[in-house]
Structure 1
Amino acid sequence: MIVLGCNGFTRIADIFAEHFGLVGIDKHYIIGHDAGASLLVDGKLVAAVEEERLNRIKKTSDFPFNSVNWVLEHAGIQFSDIDLIAVPWNFSGEVFDMTLGGVAAMPGEPAQKIDFLRRMGALFTGALSHEAVLADFAARTGFSPDPDKVVFVPHHLAHATTGYYVSGMEDTAFLISDGRAEIFSSMMGEFRDGKIRIFEESTITGNDSIGILFNSITRFLGFVPNMDEYKVMGLAGFAEPPSPNPFLEHVVELHDNGRYTLHLPPADLHNTRYVDPLLEQHFGPLQDTVEYKAGIAAAAQEMLGVVTNHQLRALEAKTDLDHLLFEGGVALNCLNNTQLFEGSRFTDMEVSFAASDTGIVIGAAAYAWANHPDNVGKVKTPEPVTPYLGPEYDAETTERTLREFADRVNWTRLSEDEIVDQVAKLLTEKVIIGWHQGRIEHGPRALGHRSILANPKFPDIKDVINTRVKHREPFRPFAPLVLEPDAPKVFEMGRKTRSPYMTFVFPVRPEFHDIIPGATHVDGTSRIQTINDQDTPLLAALLRKFTALTDVPCLINTSFNVAGEPIVCTPADALNCFLGTEIDYLVLGNYLVTKADESA
C-alpha cells in the first residue's frame, strides 16, 4: 500500500491577507505553515521533505508541489500508483458547525459576528473544506484524486501518530500541544495495542491555547510568531521570572483533569496585537533592552512549565503506561521538556525530530495506513525511522555544481578518511565550517547533514558565528554535538541517556564549563545532540578525531543557513550560503571547498 502525506494550501496565505489582514510576519501564523510531503510504501517511510527546503521560502504554507513531486520521483512512483492521500487537517462540516457555535457565543454586536462568519466562510470554501483541498490538489498536480482515497486526519491525531510511528509504535501515553488545530489546541491520551484513545475531558480549546499566547509574547518582543519562539526560550536564561509571576496571577487558571483557561482579551484576527495591552499592563511599556525582554521571557517560560506540568500530572493519573510522547509546536521548547520529564513518573519521554507541523505529513500518512481496513489488526511495528529523509546529491551532481561556481571557489576531492582527518585539524582553530552530507534531515533543526560546525573551546565563537555567518541576535546560543557514550560525562543528563534530536536541555558539568564555553548558555545549560556511529557515521568519526586532537568532547552544531532563510538543501544552496557569509570552509560530500581568493 502506497500512502502520500500532503500538507499545504495554495491560496491560504492570500485568503488570510485579504480577509483577515494577516501579512508580513503574520503570513504563516495559523494554518498550513511547514508545508511538505511524505511517502509510505507498505508501512515504511521512504521519503519526506519540507516544501521550504525546495521552494526556498521559510515556513511556507503553499501547496507542496515540489515536495510531492520529489517524494514520488524518489520512489519511482506515479500518481496513479497511490492508494491513499493523507491530509493532516479535517475541516469537516461538523467542524464548521462547531465554529458557527463558537462565533454565536462570542461577545460583540451581530454585525461583527456576521462579518466574522463571512471571513470564515471564505477561508473554509477557499482553502480548508474537503472540496477545496481536493480541487487544490488537482489544480496543482494535474491529478484528480478519488475522494474515497483521500483521508482527512484530524490535526492533533496526525501529531500524535507522528511520534508514535517514529518511536516504533510502542504502547505509550501522549500529550499534544500547539497553537491550534481545527478546534482544539491541546489533547492527551494513549496508544494501546495499536489503538488510539483520547481523554476528551482534558482537551483544551483553541481560545485557551498556551501556544498562541506564547506566539503573542514572541510577537510583542519583536520576533516572528510561529517561528521565533525558541528565541524567547533562549532569552529566558538571562533573567529569573518575576515573583509573583503576572501570567500565573492574572492570566492562567488551572482546572481539574489537566484543563486550564486563559483570561485574555477576545481574539481579534484583524489585530494580532490584541494581547499587547495586557502585557504592557503587567510588565510596563515595551523597551528594546535585553533586560526587559528577558524578564518577560522568563515569566512566559515559567508559565509554560506550570501549564504543561499541570497537564502531565493529570495524564499520569489517567494512564498506567510508563512511556510518554510529547508532540506539537509547544514540544519544541526543549528547556521545558527536560523539567517535565524529570518531574514525572514516566520512565522515558520522547519528542520526535518532527514534533512541530513539519512532521504531520508523516503522522497523517501513518494514521491512514494503520487505520485502513486492509491493515487493521495486521500492522507490524515499523523499522526505526531516521530523520534523514530528504534529497541527497551524488558526487557527479556535486562536481557539476562546483564547476558552475568555478570562478569563485576551489575544491579538492578527498576520501572519507581524509575528510575526517583534514576537517578535524581545521577545527582545532577558530574556523567555521559548512557541512553538507547525505540526505537532508526532516524537521526544524539541523541534525548533522546540513550543519555549520565550529570548535566550542573558544568563548567568543558564538559571537563570531552570530555576526559573521548567521546575522542574528547576539544572545542566541548554539547546540553542541556529543558522542552518545560521552554525553553523561559532559552533561548532567538526569534520567535521559540520549538526546538525538536537540529536544532536551541539560546542565553542563562544572568541570566542562571552561572546555566548551562556546556551547554553554548563560544559564550553564546546553541543548545537546547525541550522535553515534549507526546514525551519523562520518560525523561521529569526525568528532572522535577532533576530540583526540583537542581533548574537547563536543563540536558546535547549528543549522546551515542565515537568519530568515531555510536550511540549505542542494549543493548550490550550500555554495551560495558559503559565498555570502564568512564561513571559512565548506565540505560538500567528499569535496573540501575554499573561496577562490583564499588558500586552504
Structure 2
Amino acid sequence: MIVLGCNGFSRVSEVFAEHFGAVGTERHYLLGHDAGAALLVDGELVAAVEEERLNREKKTTDFPVNAVECCLEHAGLKFSDIDLAAISWNFSAEVLDQMLSGITSAPTAPAAKLGLLSNMGKLFTEVVSHDAILADFAARTGFTPDPEQVVFVPHHLAHAMTGYYMAGMKDAAFLVSDGRAEVFSSLTGEIRDGRVRVFDESAIGAEYSIGLLFAATTRYLGFVPNNDEYKIMGLSGFAEPPTPNPFLEHIVQLREDGRYTFCRPLETDNPRSFEPLLERYFGPVQDSLEYMARVAAAAQEMLTVVTSHQLRAREAKTDLTHLLFEGGVALNCLNNTPLFEGSRFDDLDVSFGASDTGITIGAAVHAWVGHPDNAGRVKPAPPVTPYLGPEYDDSAIEQTLREFGGRVVSSRLSDDEIVARVAQLLTEKVVIGWYEGRIEHGPRALGHRSILANPHFPDIKDIINTRVKHREPFRPFAPLVLESDAPKVFEMGRKARSPSMTFVFPVRPEFRDVIPGATHVDGTSRMQTITDQDTPRLAALLRQFTELSDVPCLINTSFNVAGEPIVCTPADALNCFLGPEIDYLVLGNHLVTKSEASRRALT
C-alpha cells in the first residue's frame, strides 16, 4: 500500500494577510507552516522532505507540490500509484461548528464577532475545508484524487503517530503540545497496537495555548513567533527567572487534573493581545540583554512548570512506561530533560519530526494503520533514519562545480582521504561546510547539511554567529558526540542517547574548558549523539578529530544563514559557501575552497 502524506495550502498565507492582518514573515507562521510531503510504501517510510528546502522560502505554507513530486520520483512512482493521500489536518463541518461556537460565545463586541465570523468563513471555504483541499491538490498537481482515497487526519493525532512510528511503533503514552491544531493546543493519550485513545478530559483549547503564549513572548521581545522560540531558550540561560514569576503569579493558573487556564483567554485572531499584560508585569520592552533574558527565563520556567503539571496528572491514567512528546512545544529541548527526569516513565522520545515538519509522516502512518486492509498487522518497526530527502550523486555535484567555474577550486578525494584531511583541518580555527547524502528531515541539521567547527576555541561561537550565520551573538551552538563518549562528557541522567538534538544536558565540569565553544553560559549543551550505524563518515571524522585533538566533540550547526532554509542542492551549498566566511566545503567527496578571485571579492 502506497500512502502519501501532505501539509500545506496554496492560499493560506494570502488569506491570513488579507483577512487577519498577518503580513511579512508572520503570514507563514499561523497554519500550514513547515509544508512538506512524506511517502510510505507498505509501511516503510521511503521519503520525506519539507517544501522550503525545494522552493527556498523558509517556513513556507504553500502546497508542497515540489515535495510531493520529489517523494514520488525517489520511489519511482506516479500519482496514479497512490492508494491513500493523508492530509495532516481535519477541518470537518463539526470542527467548523466548534470554531464558530467559540467565537459567538466569546466576550467580544458584536461587530468584532461578525468580522471574525466572516473571516473564519473565508478561511474555511477557500483554504482548509475538505473540498478546498481536494481542489487545491488537483489544481497544483494535475491529479484529481478519489475523495474516498483521501484521509483527513486530526492535526494532533498526526503528531502523535509521528512519534509512535519513529519510536518503533511500540505501545506508548503521548503528550502533544503546540500552538494550536484545529481547535485544541494540547492532547494526551496512549497508542496500543496502533489504535489511539485520547484522554478527552486532558484537551486544552487554543485559547489557553502555552505554545501561543510562548510565541507571544517571542514576538514581544522582537523575534519572529513560531520560528524564533529557540532564541528565547538561548536567552533564558543568561538569567534566573524572577521571583515571583509573573507568568505563574498573574497569567497562568494551574487547575486540577493537569489542566490550566490563563487570567483571560488568548485572542487567537489577535497575536498581540497579551502584550499589554507582559508590559504591565515586566515593564516596557528594553533592547538590553538583561531585560530580554529576565523575560525569557520567566517564560522558560512557565513552560517547564505547565508541561510538568500536565504530565504528572496523566501518569496515573496509563500503565504504559514509554512516553512520546510531540508538537512544537516539544522542540523546547531545555524543557525536555527535566520533564523526563521528573516523570515515572522509563523513557521519553522526542522525534526529529516533533514540529509540523513531521506531521506528514504521522498523517501517512495514521492512514496506513487505520486502513481496514491493515487491521491486526501492526508490529514494531525498525529504527527510522532522518535522512529522508533528496540526494545528489557525484555527477550532479561535478556538474554544479563546473557551473561555478572560476569561483571555486575543488579536489576529489576518497572517503578515507576526506575524513583524514578534514579532521586535520578542524584542529585549527576553521569553519567547514559538510554536505553528504540525503538531506535530513526536520528543523535541525543532523550531520548531512551541517557547518562544523572545533569547540575548543572559546571565540568560535562568536566567529560563526557574526561572520558566518549573521545572527545574534547570544545564540549557543550544539555539539555532536559519539554515543559511546556522551556519558563521559555530559551528565546524561536517565537518557542514554540524543540522536535528534532534542534534549539539553549539563556539560561535566572537567569538559567545560575542553569544549567552551559548545558550552552555553549556563553550562549546558543541546547535543547530538551519533553512531557508526547512523552516520558512518561523520562518526569516522569525529573519531579521527578526537585522536588528533583530545576534543571529543564537534560543533554542528545548520548549513544556512539567517533567514534561509538549510541548503538542499549542491548549488545551494556552493552559494552559501561563497557568501559568508566558511573556510572549506566538503561536497560529497570533493573538498572545495574559494578561488583567489572569490576571496578578493569578499575583501
TM-score > 0.5, shorter chain as reference? yes
SS at match of 1:586: strand
**Would the aligned equivalents of 2:166 and 2:351 in 1 still touch at CA under 8 Å?**
yes
Give the match for residue 373 of structure 2: 374
Give the match for residue 551 of structure 2: 552
* 2:122 pairs with 1:122: yes
**Which amino acid in the other structure matches residue 498 of structure 1?**
R
Greater mean alpha carbon deviation, residues 488-497 or residues 110-119: 110-119
Give how far 1:598 is off.
8.2
Give the match for residue 211 of structure 2: 211
Over residues 381-430 of structure 1, what are the superposed CA-to-partner deviations in whole Å (9 max), with x where a residue is unaligned? Answer: 33221000000111000000000002100000000000000000000000
Give the match for residue 298 of structure 1: 297
SS at match of 2:484: helix
Greater mean alpha carbon deviation, residues 585-594 or residues 100-109: 100-109
Give how far 1:549 is off.
0.2
Over residues 231-275 of structure 1, what are the superposed CA-to-partner deviations in whole Å (9 max), with x where a residue is unaligned? Answer: 001100000000000000011111122111112465162x43221
SS at match of 2:357: helix
**Would the aligned equivalents of 1:265 and 1:274 in 2 still touch at CA under 8 Å?**
no
**Would the aligned equivalents of 2:175 and 2:188 in 1 still touch at CA under 8 Å?**
yes
Q: How does 1:1-400 map to 2 (within 5 A)?
A: 1-264=1-264, 266-267=266-267, 269=269, 271-400=270-399
SS at match of 1:10: coil
Over residues 310-339 of structure 1, what are the superposed CA-to-partner deviations in whole Å (9 max), with x where a residue is unaligned? Answer: 011011111111111000000000010001
**Alpha-carbon distance in structure 2 between the residues aligned to 1:49 and 1:303:** 33
Give the match for residue 514 of structure 1: 513
**Alpha-carbon distance in structure 1 between the residues aligned to 2:531 and 2:109:** 60
**Would the aligned equivalents of 2:470 and 2:561 in 1 still touch at CA under 8 Å?**
yes
SS at match of 1:459: coil
**Would the aligned equivalents of 2:208 and 2:266 in 1 still touch at CA under 8 Å?**
no
**Would the aligned equivalents of 2:415 and 2:537 in 1 still touch at CA under 8 Å?**
yes
**Alpha-carbon distance in structure 2 between the residues aligned to 1:25 and 1:338:** 31
Q: How does 1:483-562 map to 2 (within 5 A)?
A: 483-562=482-561
Q: How does 1:581-592 map to 2 (within 5 A)?
A: 581-592=580-591
Over residues 414-469 of structure 1, what are the superposed CA-to-partner deviations in whole Å (9 max), with x where a residue is unaligned? Answer: 00000000000000000000000000000000000000000000000000000110
Over residues 559-585 of structure 1, what are the superposed CA-to-partner deviations in whole Å (9 max), with x where a residue is unaligned? Answer: 000001000000000000000110000
**Which amino acid in the other structure matches residue 470 of structure 1?**
K
**Which amino acid in the other structure matches residue 562 of structure 1?**
V
Over residues 74-100 of structure 1, what are the superposed CA-to-partner deviations in whole Å (9 max), with x where a residue is unaligned? Answer: 111111110000000000000011111
Give the match for residue 456 of structure 2: 457
**Would the aligned equivalents of 2:253 and 2:261 in 1 still touch at CA under 8 Å?**
yes
**Alpha-carbon distance in structure 2 between the residues aligned to 1:446 and 1:26:** 23
**Would the aligned equivalents of 2:322 and 2:346 in 1 still touch at CA under 8 Å?**
yes
**Which amino acid in the other structure matches residue 426 of structure 1?**
L
* 2:438 pairs with 1:439: yes
**Which amino acid in the other structure matches residue 239 of structure 1?**
A
Give how far 1:109 is off.
2.5
**Would the aligned equivalents of 2:183 and 2:206 in 1 still touch at CA under 8 Å?**
yes
**Which amino acid in the other structure matches residue 446 of structure 2?**
L
**Alpha-carbon distance in structure 2 between the residues aligned to 1:342 and 1:59:** 32
**Would the aligned equivalents of 1:251 and 1:263 in 2 still touch at CA under 8 Å?**
yes
Give how far 1:110 is off.
2.2
Give how far 1:34 is off.
0.1
SS at match of 1:320: coil
**Would the aligned equivalents of 1:44 and 1:383 in 2 still touch at CA under 8 Å?**
no
**Which amino acid in the other structure matches residue 62 of structure 2?**
D
* Structure 1 residues 450 and 573, CA gap change in structure 2 (3 angstroms): same
Give how far 1:380 is off.
2.8
SS at match of 1:278: helix
**Which amino acid in the other structure matches residue 74 of structure 2?**
H
Flag as ranges the 4+ runs of structure 1 deviating above 6 A: none
**Would the aligned equivalents of 2:431 and 2:584 in 1 still touch at CA under 8 Å?**
yes
Give how far 1:143 is off.
0.5
**Which amino acid in the other structure matches residue 230 of structure 1?**
Y
SS at match of 1:197: strand
Structure 1 stretches lacking a partner, 5+ long: none
**Alpha-carbon distance in structure 2 between the residues aligned to 1:244 and 1:268:** 27
SS at match of 2:568: coil
SS at match of 1:27: helix
* 2:575 pairs with 1:567: no
Give how far 1:599 is off.
11
**Would the aligned equivalents of 2:480 and 2:554 in 1 still touch at CA under 8 Å?**
yes
Give how far 1:103 is off.
1.0
Give the match for residue 594 of structure 1: 593
Give the TM-score, by structure 1 length. 0.99
**Alpha-carbon distance in structure 2 between the residues aligned to 1:306 and 1:237:** 17
**Alpha-carbon distance in structure 1 between the residues aligned to 2:183 and 2:427:** 52
**Alpha-carbon distance in structure 1 between the residues aligned to 2:305 and 2:109:** 36
SS at match of 2:297: helix
**Alpha-carbon distance in structure 1 between the residues aligned to 2:435 and 2:474:** 26
Give how far 1:222 is off.
0.7
Over residues 484-504 of structure 1, what are the superposed CA-to-partner deviations in whole Å (9 max), with x where a residue is unaligned? Answer: 000000000000010001000
**Which amino acid in the other structure matches residue 545 of structure 1?**
Q
**Which amino acid in the other structure matches residue 72 of structure 2?**
L
Greater mean alpha carbon deviation, residues 188-197 or residues 534-543: 188-197
**Would the aligned equivalents of 2:72 and 2:78 in 1 still touch at CA under 8 Å?**
yes
Give how far 1:29 is off.
2.4
Give the TM-score, by structure 2 length. 0.98
Give how far 1:475 is off.
0.2
**Would the aligned equivalents of 1:100 and 1:117 in 2 still touch at CA under 8 Å?**
yes
SS at match of 1:324: strand
Identity %: 74
> RMSD of the alignment, in Å?
1.1
Aligned pair count reads 599
**Alpha-carbon distance in structure 1 between the residues aligned to 2:361 and 2:84:** 13
**Alpha-carbon distance in structure 1 between the residues aligned to 2:259 and 2:268:** 23
**Would the aligned equivalents of 2:159 and 2:358 in 1 still touch at CA under 8 Å?**
yes
